[in-house]
Amino acid sequence: MSGPGGGAGSALTWAALREVRCAELEEAADGWGRVSNRADAARDRIEGQLLPGLRDTQKGEAVGAAVGRLRRLGMNFQYIYTECGLLRTTLNSLAHEIKTQQRVLQGALDDAAALKFTVHADGSVTYPAAGEGLVDGKPLAGGTASGIPNPGMVTPSGLVAPNPNAGKAQDIADRVAQAVRTAADADWRYTRILRSLKAQEGLDVPAATWTDAAADAAAVRQAAGSYLKDAIPHDASPAERKKWWAGLTDEQREEYLAVYPDRIGNLDGLPALVRDAANRDNLQLLMGKLEGRGDEDSATKLAALREIDRQLRTVPKVGEPPMYLLGIGDQGNGRAIVSYGNPDTARNVAAYVPGLNTSLDEEFAVGDLKRARDLSIAANQYGEPAAAITWLGYDAPQSPDGLGTLSVAAGGSADEGGQAFREFMNGMETVNENKDPHMTAIGHSYGSRTVGAATQQGGIPGVDDIVFVGSPGVGVDSADDLGVGRDHVFVGAAANDVVTKLPSKGESAVGAAEMLFGGPAAAYVFGDLVDRNDDDLWFGKDPASEAFGARRFEVGDGPPLVGKGKITVDAHSEYFDPEIDRTSVENMALIAAGRGHMIQREEPR
């Protein structure tokens, strides 16, 4: 086919279009697919066998150097996998578009043959005499119609040819011209893409190479839209998505993973292993994309992605849960969903929703992910496999002054986050291989408000138990309103956690305190003046109160608000740290393991 030198496929004719062997393009695509699969298998062998084997059996500086080289080799194979996968889809998509235009062309040629019209090499169509003249009754003269590639660009003349064959010939000529023009445009577009799909020389794959790969992937996605993208069931239920994925061929799955890792990796209802594979590749593309930017937001997210990537490449020690990347993205404040333990095979699955000021930054990648990891380790000691998930699938409210004021936390964030969390948990239940998995939703801080909102949108699918820690209220006034029964709602509230004592935002003293002094400390101090029963919080009834009706479990007191000459709100963030508050972690682990009846109870407020 033609190149772009003289315009968009200027040398292509209908005869050449008819003779294009799309099967050869598809065979070439299959070849690149085989290379991609081999690279993927080699990467898996390095990361799943060679690296763990070295770490477990060998010691010394030489081993460290070997590990570094193997990791670089693994990255190279990952790059080969990505680029060869893009090549395969580019060739298949080109074949798909050319075959479509070949069908249009053949239909026009068949119609011409049936009417005994002649299609010339330049695409014009000669038609015979037909009809009757108004004066002499003789057949009207035939003629030749030239095709218009883009009929919509031509203003109708208003004249009607008297020969009835003229209109039919014009239609055939237009269809031939449109097929040739569309195929030529595709040829030109894909030629540019194929020329860009090449690696730098050398054995290393630096960040700049991944930046180029991100641009390559974006170009292929745009070009292959009609070939793959439109079929992804974004608006379907998790069960329908699961069925869609199961119905694809292996080749189709490989193409979706190569070209749309961002969409497949974040599609609720797909298996964890599929999402993890897609997101690990998308992680590299995201880092490459952000590398090419210089703004502060991109730098913040890039630091988080690099830390997540580092953790994913770290071989877990014996007894530690494997890490699965179930979601990743740079939209809004950033997205990241990480599971410790396979949520598809685990009998017990717990998902933790963080709260106010959480975003995709390095602090999240280190601290919030560790919370799920520690919980998974603690829950797995009870015999049945457990997976614990950190779910940052929404834009948590951001306050400019640290913990700040909850006045920034409007209900909209919780409602939107609650809907996304419901769908995610629905997906977890759909793909879990156990007949009746035990699932727990855990909300911390504003995350408890988000979990509460999820329960008000038809309940959270599959969830048996709900846990709130450090909660400023959950949007309802009774545990009975959460859809799982009050005996399955658990609350941890540290004595010195000021967020669990913030009075209702409607109380004037609190409003005055916020305006004058700002932040939770002022609300805490002034709030006691008007909220003597301590059961009305910022987002409704205190979940730790007797009136709410949940089961309160024991946690550490946490450091006092004022100590060592300064104000600290550390008590709000220690619930998940086994070194500081082992009691809290053990109680949440018991709940996550389906043993809520064994928790250490604490009297409600």
Q: Is it the case that residue 343 has pLDDT exceeding 90?
A: yes
Report pLDDT for 247: 94
Report pLDDT for 411: 57
Report pLDDT for 257: 87
Whole-number Å distance between alpha carbons of 13 and 500: 74
Percent of the chain with pLDDT over 90: 51
pLDDT classification of 137: cutoffs 50, 70, 90: low
Report pLDDT for 203: 55
Report pLDDT for 291: 85
pLDDT tens string 267-316 = 999 999 999 999 998 998 899 889 878 899 999 999 999 999 999 988 77
Report pLDDT for 124: 94
User: Mean pLDDT for the chain?
Assistant: 84
Report pLDDT for 509: 42
Report pLDDT for 90: 83
Report pLDDT for 36: 83
pLDDT tens string 541-591 = 899 999 999 999 999 998 888 776 677 788 999 999 999 999 999 999 999
Instruction: State the virtual CA torsion across 417, 422, 423, 427 in degrees, nearest 10.
Output: 130
Ranking 316-320, 455-459, 508-512 by mean pLDDT, the lowest is: 508-512
CB 418 within 8 A of CB 454: yes
Report pLDDT for 314: 83
b/e 350-376 (16+ beta carbons within 10 angstroms → b): bbbbbbbbbbbbbebbebbbbbbbbbb
Report pLDDT for 406: 54
Whole-number Å distance between alpha carbons of 423 and 434: 19
pLDDT tens string 207-252 = 666 677 777 777 777 777 667 766 899 999 999 999 999 999 988 8
Ranking 27-31, 65-69, 127-131, 351-355 by mean pLDDT, the lowest is: 65-69
Q: Is it the case that residue 432 has pLDDT exceeding 90?
A: yes
Q: How many CA atoms lie within 13 A of 558 on its CB side?
A: 28
Of residues 493, 498, 480, 514, the one with CA closest to residue 448:
493
Q: Is it the case that residue 505 has pLDDT exceeding 80?
A: no
Residue 104 CB contacts under 8 Å (≥ 6 apart), including other chains: 175, 178, 179, 182
Report pLDDT for 330: 95
Of residues 383, 588, 334, 604, the one with CA closest to residue 468:
588
Parallel, antiparallel, or unpaired for β 386-392 and 348-353? parallel
Mean pLDDT of 500-526: 49
pTM of the model: 0.76
Report pLDDT for 63: 66
Report pLDDT for 202: 58
Task: Output 400 or 591, whichever has higher pLDDT.
Answer: 591
Task: Output 440 or 139, whichever has higher pLDDT.
Answer: 440
Residue 249 CB contacts under 8 Å (≥ 6 apart), including other chains: none
Task: Output 218 or 181, whichever has higher pLDDT.
Answer: 181
Q: Is it the case that residue 3 has pLDDT exceeding 70?
A: no
pLDDT tens string 241-281 = 999 999 999 888 888 888 888 999 999 999 999 999 999 98
Report pLDDT for 353: 97
Mean pLDDT of 487-507: 83
Q: Give phi and psi for 85, each to the nearest 5.
A: -65, -40
By CB neighbour count within 10 A (0-12 exposed, 13-18 middle, 19+ buried), where does 160 fall? Answer: exposed
Q: Is it the case that residue 421 has pLDDT exceeding 90?
A: yes
Strand partners, 467: 442, 490
Say how many residues make up the chain.
Answer: 605
